[in-house]
Structures are given as C-alpha cells and as structure tokens.
C-alpha cells in the first residue's frame, strides 16, 4: 500500500532525481507527506525510507530535529505567535497569553474542533510587523488582540482559504523542470561522493584499529 | 538620493516576475558574465571588496579563492535567515527572487560549480513559492539548464526548503540538513566547506544578500561597488531596524554613510522613538552581538566601526530598546531562544543555555538573588572563557559563544536594573 497518492508519488520521484544523493530529498519528501496528510505519519515515514533506501528510524531521527515536521496530528491551522525580542518589545508575550485565552488551549494544545493548534515560535523574520503571528507559515502583523480575534474569525469562516492552505501544504508551486545537467556530470558527482565515503570509512577503521 | 542596489526593484508591481525583471535589465549581467572568463568575473567580485552579508563578514571574493579546485564543486546559497530580528533576506526572496537567482548563476559560473542549491528557510512559505516560480521561469527562459544562452555553460539550480531549525543557518549544519540529516554543525577543521563540503566535495556557501549584490557588481564593475562606503565596508547594506522605533523596516544604505542615531531618528528612516522616550540600548548585528549604549549612537554603520566599539555589524539587524523596556526581560528572552535552538551536541552550549535561561527567568519573575549575577557570569565564562569579544570557543560552532553576549551586556550595562528585580522581587516595568 502506497502512502503517497499517485500524483505525489510522481512528485517524490522528481524530487529524488534532483540530488546526487537520494537522502537529500528527505526534508522535501517530509513536506510533501505533510501536505498530503496534514502531519507526518508512520506510514509516510516508512514509504519515504523505502524511496530513499534508508531505515524508517533514520527518517524519524532526522524529522524529530525539525520544528516544522510534526509526527503527531495538529489542527487545520497551526497558529504560531512570535515572542522573540522584537515581538516581545511590541507585546508578543501578552499576545500569546491572549491567544491561549481565546482559543482555550495551552501551548501546544489543539482546539476540540481540530481547527487550531497554538505554538510559541521563535523569530520568523517579520519584525517590522511586531507583534506578529504565523498561520501555517503565512504571516500576519502587527496584531493587537482585536486583530488576532478577527484573524481567527476569518480563518473559521474560510475567508482566508486562498492565502492560507490547510496545515502541511507549504509551497504550492512545484518544480516543473527535471534536472538537466548532463548525466556524465551526475555520474562523476556520484563517484566523487562514493570515494569520499570510502575515504571517511577507511579513516574511521584506522582510528578504531589504533584504539585497540 | 542614495544608491539602491539590492532593493532597486522593491516596490515595483509584480517585482518578483520574470517579465518585470527583464523589463528592468534582468539577466543582462549574467549574459555579460558568460562572455567573460570565470576568472575575470571572480576578479570583479574581489575588486568590489564586498564582505559576505550573512553575519561573519568575510570577503566574498577571498572566500571563493579558497575553494579547492576538484572537478566536482558546489554552490549553496544560505537563505536560512533565522537570527532574531533579521528580516532582510525575507524581503529579497519575496520581492526579487530573480536577482537572487541571477547572482547565484553568475557565482556558479565564476567558481565553476557543477550544481547550485538555494536553501531557504522552511517558514518562508511565500518565499518558497516565489523562488520556485522564478526558477521555473528561468529554466523556461533558458537561463538555467544545459548550454545556457549558447555559452556552453550548464548548471542545475535546486530550491531546498528547510524545516525549522535556527542552527541550519550555520553553514556546516546547513550542509548536513541539505544532505537529509539533523542540522548538526561539523567540526572545523577538517570540515571547512571550501575543502570538504556538500557530499564531501568543495562547496561555497554564500548568503542571499551577498548573491543579490552580484548582478549589480558585474553590470557596474567591482570598482563602482568599492567606491561606495568606506574602508572595508564597501557597497550598500540592508539594515533591518526593529524594536522601539516608530518606523521599523528594512533600509538599504550606503555603508558608513549613516550613524545609528541617524538610522533611528531620521524621519525618512526609523522616524525616532515614541514621544518622551530615549534610547536605552541597541542590539546591533543580531542577538548574538554584544549591546551598545546611548553613548555609541554616533558610530557610523560600518563593519570595523562597530567592531572597534566591541560588538559586530553581524547580520545587519538593529534592535532598539527604549527606556520603558526591561533589559532583564530582553536578556531572558534571548537566552530562552538560544536554549531552544542549541542543537545539543556540545555540553557548554546545551547545558549552559538551559541554566542561564532558568536563572534569568527567576530574576525576571522576582525570585533571583544577588549571587545569581556572579553565577550567570560564571556559566557564561564556562561557555566562552574570558568573556572576551570576539569570544573564545569551547564548542563546535559559534552558537554557544553567542549566548554570553546579551547576558554580559545586560549585567554590565544595567546592573542596577537587575538589582531592582532582585530587591523588589519582581519586574518594575509595565508590560
């Protein structure tokens, strides 16, 4: 059973073909999986591992490092309020408290209707609009409490559905050109990589030998 | 009227589309570069004296010279802008993605890269869409791909999204991330990217703003760029101004042409502070930088000028704190950030950031003690021995040694304020 639907499976193959080493497609494939399913499920990670010829644990081991990759379900809208220093000076910490109050959830919590998950985020490079928030990585600011309430209302009533897709959908523009560099170069790249790996392994073996 | 280089097209309707870019001279610099020898293109960039715009401020031309001349070499553009209060690259990728792409292609040609990657911060959803659209347009236009404009030069350009990790802005962590791994910085030596970078091959990592300057340098010549600014600070820079000012925003200024005071108070720039308030402190160059006080506001915005005052111009971000803002709270929030973003490989950074954040938090909340101040400095000293600037390093990368900057600045400049928190058992400021 394939986790990826046929359209995304094709996209996955294109992404994998862009790199001298398949594993480089790991993060793009995780985003692709989240776009399809809203979060990164075990089934998704197993298929990504299959496609990249690595172990599912390696996919999880990498994904768990990154804040944007969610192995647990999150709401349709992931609301992140920034409290880093520029936003803090503009009232970001108080905005986050207000957000928690009106949504009725603690940090990391999801509303009962599954619409909103609340996060405290680090600087999202929108500091001239402090205090700001992101909803599924679309930015809004500066936000007074009333503006924030209005934003929630707009989201609840589908007034922003064009600019804010459901959680997991990141870029809606897909690459439309396959890799074009002549095969000869790609083969040379792969050989160089293999040599490098072998040299590193040889150095490691030598170290291990020396310690015995 | 001051020269605008990287923001020249910002504000033009649909500035991000190929058609707009071409109407405004787009890709002429790349065509010009392709008619030159790669060495001559490199020489123009060296002549420009441009310092890298990422934060470390290393000369771009010299960086390129250090690239080991193996047959396979890579170019990686660092668009993982996450240094708190830095929002200049965000502007460039959303508003002028073709300028970034053109600069990247020229650089790839100059250094003989066999493949180029733009690593963009995952949170920049609109930026990812704009840059991918621009890459698609550039392939269709013939600026990327095989035998570009009939020159015989071929290159692929791949857009790589990040997934939320400050540390991936560190170039070796970025390379690990691009290889599909956790963003753990590599130890240097031996892993200097110019020698052992992506997939073990020699790699140049350059910042988005650095790349965005390249088309102008090739069109106008390195000398014209070097004629702007003063000393080592050539060209213009995009200053991201935020915090307690009336008009926060990105301002492209000729380097050293304005002082901190002018940037903050000029009605055409920062527009001053709220009425009746005064500057308490300025954090130049990102939260990794030591703070400067009101006595330093007449410093020109230049690399060496700020370095001589014991701080750094870094990423070009400038945060202003006025006299109604709490220094203790700012230090606490900055240390919380570092604690959250430490990758966890090195003990001084991983453990130190956690303890510093806890101590700072209890001081801000009113349960700190006077001895906490010595304790804070002691922990900082264990991360960056001697508490000097630039800092000594006990860790793989510079995230760790960046942690003491705000703590030491805060205690040094605002010890009284720390003591009020401790004696009055709480924060005296209204939030």
Contact: A170, B200; criterion CB under 8 Å: no
Burial of B266 (0-12, 13-18, 19+ CB in 10 A): middle
A137 and A107 assigned to the same domain: yes
The list of chain B residues with pLDDT below 70 reads 1
Distance separating the N- and C-terminal Cα atoms of chain B:
40
Domain that holds residue A25: 6-71
A83 and A39 assigned to the same domain: no
Tell me whether residue A11 is in a domain. Answer: yes
A138 and A88 assigned to the same domain: yes
Residue A149's pLDDT is 98
ipTM of the complex: 0.96
A83 and A139 assigned to the same domain: yes
Fold entry, domain B327-423: de novo design (two linked rop proteins) (1.20.1440)
Fold entry, domain B18-226: Rossmann fold (3.40.50)
What percent of chain A has pLDDT above 90? Answer: 82
Which CATH number covers residue A144? 3.40.30.10
Residue B163's pLDDT is 98
Q: In this predicted model, what pLDDT tens digit does every residue of A96-135 receive, in sequence order?
A: 999 999 999 999 999 999 999 999 999 999 999 999 999 9
Alpha-carbon distance values, B93 to A8, B16, B240 (Å): 26, 9, 15
Out of B178, B249, B319, closest to residue A24 by CB: B178
Candidates A64, A86, A187, partner chain B, best to mutate (most B CBs within 10 A): A86
Q: Per-residue pLDDT for A211 more than 60?
A: no
Residue A58's pLDDT is 98
A150 and A93 assigned to the same domain: yes
Strands (E), B176-278: 203-207, 229-230, 233-234, 236-243, 249-254
Contact: B242, A123; criterion CB under 8 Å: no
Minimum CA–CA partner of B127 in chain A: A171
Q: In this predicted model, what pLDDT tens digit does every residue of B192-222 receive, in sequence order?
A: 999 999 999 999 999 999 999 999 999 999 9
Range scoring the smallest mean pLDDT among A38-42, A66-70, A188-192: A188-192
Which residues in chain B are contacts of A127 at CB distance < 8 A? 84-87, 240, 242, 248, 317
- Residue A181 near residue B146 (C-beta atoms within 8 A): yes
Fold entry, domain B231-322: Ubiquitin-like (UB roll) (3.10.20)
What mean pLDDT do residues A169-193 have? 83
Which residues in chain B are contacts of A63 at CB distance < 8 A? 163
Cα distance between residue A44 and residue A17, in whole Å:
19
Contact: B86, A171; criterion CB under 8 Å: no
Q: In this predicted model, what pLDDT tens digit does every residue of A43-70 receive, in sequence order?
A: 999 999 999 999 999 999 999 999 999 9
Q: How many CB pairs under 8 A join A and B?
A: 216
Tell me whether residue A19 is in a domain. Answer: yes
Residue A208's pLDDT is 67
> What residues does each domain of chain B span?
18-226, 231-322, 327-423
Tell me whether residue A174 is in a domain. Answer: no
Residue B89's pLDDT is 98
Residue B162's pLDDT is 98
Average pLDDT score, chain A:
93
Q: What secondary structure, in 3-state letters, does B94-114 show?
A: HHCHHHHHHHHHHHHHHHCCC
Give kind and range of the element (H or E) at residue B296.
none
Number of structural domains found in chain A: 3
Residue B305's pLDDT is 96
Contact: B124, A125; criterion CB under 8 Å: yes
Tell me whether residue A163 is in a domain. Answer: no
A127 and A150 assigned to the same domain: yes
Residue A209's pLDDT is 60
- Residue A131 near residue A142 (C-beta atoms within 8 A): yes
Q: Per-residue pLDDT for A212 more than 50?
A: no
Alpha-carbon distance values, A63 to A45, A48, B181 (Å): 9, 11, 8
Q: In this predicted model, what pLDDT tens digit does every residue of A65-97 receive, in sequence order?
A: 999 999 999 999 999 999 999 999 999 999 999
Closest CA to B252 of B220, B209, B216: B209
What mean pLDDT do residues A17-37 have? 96
């Amino acid at each position: 059973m394939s986790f990826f639907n046929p359209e995304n499976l094709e996209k996955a193959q294109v992404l994998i073909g862009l790199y001298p080493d398949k594993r480089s497609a790991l993060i793009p494939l995780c985003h692709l999986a989240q776009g399809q399913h809203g979060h990164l499920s075990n089934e998704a990670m197993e298929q990504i591992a299959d496609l990249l010829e690595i172990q599912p644990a390696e996919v999880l081991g990498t994904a768990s490092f990154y804040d944007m990759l969610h192995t647990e379900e999150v709401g349709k809208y992931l609301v992140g309020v920034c409290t880093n220093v520029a936003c803090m000076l503009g009232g970001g910490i108080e905005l986050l408290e207000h957000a928690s109050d009106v949504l009725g959830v603690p940090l990391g919590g999801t509303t009962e209707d599954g619409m909103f998950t609340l996060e405290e985020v680090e600087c999202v490079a929108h500091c001239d609009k402090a205090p700001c928030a992101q909803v599924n990585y679309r930015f809004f600011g500066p936000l007074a409490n009333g503006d924030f309430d209005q934003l929630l209302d707009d989201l609840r009533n589908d007034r922003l559905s064009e600019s804010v897709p459901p959680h997991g959908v990141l870029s809606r523009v897909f690459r439309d050109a396959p890799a074009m560099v002549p095969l000869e170069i790609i083969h040379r790249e792969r050989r160089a990589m293999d040599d490098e790996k072998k040299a590193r392994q040889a150095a490691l073996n030598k170290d291990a030998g020396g310690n015995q | 009227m001051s020269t605008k280089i990287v923001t020249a097209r910002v504000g033009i309707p649909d500035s991000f589309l190929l058609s707009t870019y071409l109407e405004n001279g787009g890709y002429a610099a790349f065509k010009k570069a392709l008619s030159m020898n790669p060495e001559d293109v490199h020489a123009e960039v060296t002549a420009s004296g441009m310092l890298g715009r990422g934060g470390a401020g290393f000369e771009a031309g010299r960086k390129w010279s250090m690239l080991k001349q193996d047959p396979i070499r890579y170019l990686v553009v660092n668009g993982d802008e996450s240094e708190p209060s830095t929002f200049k690259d965000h502007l460039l990728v959303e508003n002028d993605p073709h300028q970034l792409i053109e600069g990247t292609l020229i650089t790839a040609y100059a250094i003989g890269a066999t493949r180029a990657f733009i690593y963009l911060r995952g949170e920049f959803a609109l930026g990812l869409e704009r840059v991918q659209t621009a890459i698609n347009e550039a392939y269709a236009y013939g600026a990327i791909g095989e035998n570009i404009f009939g020159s015989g030069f071929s290159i692929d350009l791949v857009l790589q999204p990040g997934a939320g990790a400050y540390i991936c802005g560190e170039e070796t962590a970025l390379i690990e991330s691009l290889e599909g791994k956790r963003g753990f910085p590599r130890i240097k030596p031996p892993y200097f990217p110019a020698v052992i970078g992506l997939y073990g091959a020699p790699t140049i990592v350059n910042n988005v703003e650095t790349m965005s300057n390249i088309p102008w340098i090739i069109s106008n010549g390195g000398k014209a760029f070097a004629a702007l600014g003063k000393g080592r600070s050539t060209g213009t820079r995009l200053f991201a101004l935020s915090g307690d000012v009336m008009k926060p925003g990105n301002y492209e200024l000729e380097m050293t042409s304005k002082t901190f005071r002018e940037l903050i108070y000029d009605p055409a720039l920062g527009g001053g502070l709220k009425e009746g308030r005064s500057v308490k402190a300025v954090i130049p160059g990102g939260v990794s930088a030591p703070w400067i006080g009101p006595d330093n506001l007449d410093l020109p915005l230049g690399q060496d000028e700020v370095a001589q005052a014991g701080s750094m111009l870094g990423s070009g971000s400038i945060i202003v704190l006025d006299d109604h803002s709490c220094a203790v709270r700012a230090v606490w929030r900055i240390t919380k950030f570092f604690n959250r973003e430490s990758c966890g490989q090195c003990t001084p950074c991983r453990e130190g950031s956690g303890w510093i954040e806890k101590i700072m938090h209890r001081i801000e909340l009113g349960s700190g003690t006077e001895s906490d101040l010595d304790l804070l400095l002691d922990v900082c000293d264990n991360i960056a021995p001697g508490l000097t600037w630039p800092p000594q390093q006990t860790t793989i990368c510079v995230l760790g040694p960046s942690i003491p900057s705000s703590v030491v600045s805060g205690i040094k400049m605002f010890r009284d304020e720390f003591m009020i928190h401790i004696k009055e058992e709480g924060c005296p400021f209204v939030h």
